[in-house]
Amino acid sequence: MKKVLVLYFSQSGQLQRILERLVDGLKTHAKVYCDCRKITAIKPYPYPWSFYRFFNVFPEAVLLDGCAVEPLDLEEEYDLIILGYTIWFLSPSLPVTGFLQTEQAARLFRDTPVVTVIGCRDMWLIGQEKMKVLLADLGARLLDNVALTDQGKSLYTFVTTPRWMLTGKKDSFWFFPRAGVANREIHAVDRFGRRLAEALEEDEEQGNGPLLSGLGAVNVNGKLIATERIAHRSFLIWSKLMKKAGPPDSIGRNAVITIYACFLLCLVLTVVPLNMLVRKLVSPFRKKSLAKAVAYYEQPSGR
C-alpha cells in the first residue's frame, strides 16, 4: 500500500476542488491510500479580503516570511507528497510558506518525492521558483508541477480576480468572464491522479524523472514571462518599504499601501499596455530566447 499525503491551503475552496478531483483519479487504484490535510494559519486570514488586509500581507508573502500554522497530526513517512498552493503576490501563500519553514515539514519532506499543484490567476512562474528553493532547503525531490490558471484574458483577470478576492463574487458580469479556473479544466484534473496511481504501482516515484509528462500539466504563456520578472523586482522594492514603514495594520504600513495602490493603478493603465506593445514589436527577434525560457519554466513536467 502506497501512502500519499495531500497538503494544501485554500480560502475560496477552488484549490480544494482541484485536489479532490486529482484524488478521485488516485483512488482508481486500491493500493493507494490518500491522507488529505488542510494547512491552517493560527491567525486566520479573512475571505473575502478587505482592501488593506489584503495588501498588509504583501511584504511577508514576497519576502517568504511565513506565518505561524497549526501542527498537523501526520504519519512519519509518505511515499509521495502532493502540495497544493495558491499564489499571493507572485509567491506561495503565507500559510504554505509558513508550514514549509517548520520542523515538522523538515522531517516530512526530506528525501520525499513531491508534486506541486498550483491554482492561480495567471502568473505563477516566480512563485514556483520560490517553491523550488523552499523544497530544496527541505531536501525534497520535486518530480512534477501542475498549474491551472483562471479562464479569460490577462487584462480581464486584472478585474475579475480582485473582484473575487475582495467581494467573494466570481460570476460573469458585463463582458467579463467568470473568475477562477474553468470547471472543465478542474474536471479533467483526475487524469493526473490516475497517472500518479499507475506510477506508484510501478515504484516510479523512486526515480528522479517526471511522472506527468505529456498530460498538459503546465502551459507557460511566454508573453507574461518578462512582465512577471519586472513585477517581481518591483514587488521586492515595495515589500521592503512596507515592512520598514511598520508592522501589519500599522498607520505607517497602511500609508505606504495607499501610495503603492495608486502607483499600481497608474502602472496598469500606462506601463502595462506600453509593455505589451513593445513585446509585440520585439517578439520576432526574441523567438529563440523566449522558447528557451518557456521550456525552462515548464520543467519538470512539460506540456
How far is the first Cα of the chain from the last one, in angstroms, to the nearest whole number? Answer: 30
Q: To which H or E segment does residue 92 belong?
A: strand 91-92
Residue range of the domain that includes 273 = 223-296
Residues 265 and 212 in one domain: no
Residues 227 and 196 in one domain: no
pLDDT tens-digit profile of 192-210? Answer: 999 999 999 999 999 989 9
pLDDT tens-digit profile of 242-298? Answer: 999 999 999 999 999 999 999 888 877 776 667 667 667 766 767 788 889 999 999
Note whether residue 38 is domain-resident: yes
How high is the mean pLDDT of the chain? Answer: 91
What cell was used for 43? 491567525
| pLDDT band (50, 70, 90) for residue 217 | very high
pLDDT tens-digit profile of 113-146? Answer: 999 999 998 899 999 999 999 999 999 999 999 9
What cell was used for 186? 478542474
Note whether residue 39 is domain-resident: yes
Burial 68-88 (b: 16+ CB within 10 A, else e): ebeebeeeeebbbbbbbbbbb
Please state the separation of Cα 281 from the chain's center in Å.
30
Nearest to 116 by CA among 98, 132, 137, 138: 132
Residues 228 and 167 in one domain: no
Q: In terms of pLDDT, which residue wins out, 236 or 1?
A: 236
Residues 283 and 183 in one domain: no
Nearest to 90 by CA among 236, 220, 217: 236
Note whether residue 303 is domain-resident: no
What are the residues whose beta carbons fall under 8 Å from the beta carbon of 264, sequence distance 6 or more? none
pLDDT value at residue 174: 85
What are the residues whose beta carbons fall under 8 Å from the beta carbon of 58, sequence distance 6 or more? 89, 235, 238, 239, 242, 257, 260
What cell was used for 287? 523567438
pLDDT value at residue 162: 84
Residues 205 and 65 in one domain: yes
pLDDT tens-digit profile of 13-53? Answer: 999 999 999 999 998 877 899 999 999 999 999 999 999 99
Q: How many structural domains does the chain have?
A: 2
